[in-house]
Amino acid sequence: MSAVLVTGATGRVGRHVVAQLEEAGTEARSLTRQPHLSGFVGDVREPTSLLPALRGVEGVFLVWPFTTAEGARELLEVIAGQARRIVYLSSAAVRDHEREVESMVEKSGLEWTVLRPHAFAANALQWADQVRAGVVREPYGQAAMSPVDERDIAAVAVRALTGGAHHGATYLLTGPESLTRERQARIIGEALGRPVRWEEAPAGEARERMVASGPRRCGPPGSTRTATRP
């Protein structure tokens, strides 16, 4: 297969898509907005900036890291003029803007696949400092989900990008087991060989702490987004 362009190439899923494409012998072109990083410089909000990276590309892994679908149609038109296949990283939550982008992808004229992952396993990294202290103080300790490893999401993306059997498919991706947030914290402690206790916190307290710390890259249930919420 010819090259694949990976947007969000430095993100939690994109970096694994790049690595796994290369392991499979496919040229992976990383898109970045930062000139000092290796890869092609471009911005999905400025679709024509992707043209150099899109030349000779057969597939595109698309991350749309915004809370509206504004601009996505123009981007897809540019992609459709160069590529044949697209894999869009959506979310199991399928928020309004994600549904809009999904619809645009389906109508783009490209061979498309949509991935809807549940919560990223790496979301637990936001507890790192608290885990070191032995107490994770967060709300919703009994909320259960099936965290999925970002490498597994990437593996599905690579299979869809390099094979022709997934056109028109939407895949819901979950981890192997439903776990409460409290249980996740305890498992992390067990893996580290130290006790980690869950302490239930009011939602307002956690929200204030997140706002004070500023936006961060994380995956809400099922996606990569800039978030300031628990």
> The whole model's pTM is what?
0.87
Residue 140: CATH number of its domain: 3.40.50.720
How confident is the model at residue 36, as a pLDDT?
67
Q: Residue 162 is which amino acid? A: T
Q: How many domains does the chain have?
A: 1
**Burial of 33 from C-beta contacts in 10 A (0-12 / 13-18 / 19+):** middle
User: Which domain does 93 fall in, by range?
Assistant: 3-227
Q: Which residue numbers in the chain have pLDDT < 50?
A: 216-230
Contact 139, 203 (CB under 8 A): yes
How confident is the model at residue 228, as a pLDDT?
28
